[in-house]
Structure 1
């Protein structure tokens, strides 16, 4: 008999939180009880889940009493304050924010890549950045067979990665452009007092704020998280993260250098056998991954695989995934499922 667990969802009304709820239902996660937690402002409102109506409760430390799994997706400040309180009360926190990702002693997990890291959890498990998840999922089976020495990635990230407000702004700006009107911008590239630029008919080479080294915070997340997840602290990683006018589905151009030479057919075979990966590479029929086809799909799609023209150990890949699914909500639920299967809950 499958063990049933008590679940709390923090931030259920956001883009990722609502997708988490849908995944809990779709994957038939064994729920004994479930509660939805939010700020005092949202407490008392109703929310629908799996055919029933629930009342949103205020997210307080005491609200986590009796909770087995707490799914957090309400912002880093909320996680900073409440995740330790939830863990203190016996809950396993799966946190979708960036707050704990690089914290010592907190596993940063993509189940297909480093499931074993769950064994070391101390109450909090971090869900990686959306763009990191799909890249390491694609690279892990290649690294396992041929080694890996360096990674250079350029991302083409959908606006849903910045939340519901960014989705609505893309839609409204597109409509205004179509009417021949000037557009206004208030969300991208950063939700702050910095300049904002239209995303419709545009590409913005900035996601999150710039750091002193010239990389953005998003780029440094990819660099540091990749090293942690793959347990390769000395791996050379570089990233350029770009926001594009796509609603859902992140795309990535990835260049890798291997420790030993491999044929294209050997790379194909490694990916075909990898869990959670769909090899989509048939250039004779224009068969390659695109976000419009990845939206709503669970796997990570990999294609346009080709050996570098100047380095026999170099390969170029095109990687696409639904950033709200494998890039966020689905990976969180898969972590919870792995915890159950490994008797860690």
Structure 2
């Protein structure tokens, strides 16, 4: 089959790879109908080469049609249309019982001391082949393949795999009081959905992003938007009677603008031999912290900062005096996708499409165009906000 594969830092290519097969009785194989490129994929493209191997199949936002099931699969059937949460969980362990599916004790990657396995996401998370391919093996399929209807287009459902529940969790973690104000930093796909979810839940939403097209799309869905030029903290406070938003979702993460020296260090580490680079990343790694520090400074006293953007630095400085003085709460973590599907599926299937699943994608292309689209998405060229591949 054809699949998008990692070849080297900033180099991916579509190659012929072996078809996936049933490895355990609880597996299923799906024919992929749609797969999206995620901002987290760009982290792999630019930075995480030391934890990838040449030929690794990428992608973790996937849906399709079930073609084969193992003898131990009872709920999912051949021919079912399914969307695949990017977190692989068992649904029955201590963590899953508490809605912490991203910490699933059955699929934790003990070799690296990390959380639940993920599709297409490095040795740290199990090195499971991803879904930017013609076919995908789904482990523990009865829990990890969500059966959906057949009448609505793929774009209504595809984002249940990751960015829609990630945004929903981010807003829930922000703990905005009824009628309060939600701040959103970064208006990529997760930030767009976070802003829309905030409006759907009745919050006022104030949001920032440097890209005009992204600000315009968020404004269309009711957010008050600001450029990042000048004093962003002052803009957010001025818009909220000098206090700051009740809760802020940081949907930017480690690759924020600014701190050019940090970016140079990140790239330099990625060019070291893998064992040295891995040791550096897991002991003295640092992130660009402009967005995070903006969230800390802008959130009101007693408010909450919710991290949806990914951070991986193990030596990042933390302004504990400011956080303690302001009594700021912080929530974060990989999305517990399966926990939120029951809340989101009715909204996705609502005739009015209240979260705008059909109003996010700017580029729909075939799989062969994926390498070009990685660069387009990373560089925010051609008005790119979200890319969907159709293998």
Give TM-score, length-normalised by structure 1.
Answer: 0.29
Give TM-score, length-normalised by structure 2.
Answer: 0.26
